[in-house]
Structure 1
Amino acid sequence: MARDRFPRWVYGTGTDPDARFSLANERTFLAWVRTGLALLAGGVALEALSVPLEPRLRTVASVVLVVLGILGPVLAWIGWARAERAMREDRPLPAPSAFGVLVVGVLLAGVLVLAGMLLR
């Protein structure tokens, strides 16, 4: 029953969609979580392995990657819930909301690493 499922604000509305769509939504959520884990690991590795970059830029790039790694699962949860509610209420799927954050963050980290390589 919907009241036994968490979160209630997602499952307490509408009707169950085709299981294939819910499972695809779950796989997308898990892919975002894996991406967040990879970004977190990359940020930690960049700093822990003392990659030969200009130290301040390396630290800032590491922080950017770690912050993205922390935000990834949060944004994944929000995206999963929005899509699941839309399917349950037979509404069109919402536009992805986290792509911009990920793209800008990875681009920023990449530019910092490149600058760190050139300035060492």
Structure 2
Amino acid sequence: MPMARSTTVTWSLSALAAGALLVGCSASASVGGSESKLSKDKLSATVAKKLAETTGQPEPDVTCPEDLAGKVGTETRCTLTAGDGSTLGVTATVTSVDGDQINFDIEADDKASPAAN
């Protein structure tokens, strides 16, 4: 029943996207040090944790390709990958910076991309 699993995974990603959009997901992280940027690894972990909290689902696999600069309006695109390889885009946008604390909004795309064959 591979089709059923694929449908379930797609539904889960769609539910995650809808949950993140409906709740208005925001997060913040301390960057530490003298540079005002959040490392891509810490950003990935923070986005995954916040999406899990918002949707009530387990932490998804999130990968962010670059650090997030601590400047209001800066954004980066991350990718949430499901077990079947389907993906969902997630945007992190800096809303404010308070010392070494970067506050940002998280918005998931409303549609998942199927796994590449």
TM-score by length of 1: 0.29
- Higher fraction of strand: 2
Which one has a bigger Cα radius of gyration?
1
- Higher fraction of helix: 1
TM-score by length of 2: 0.30
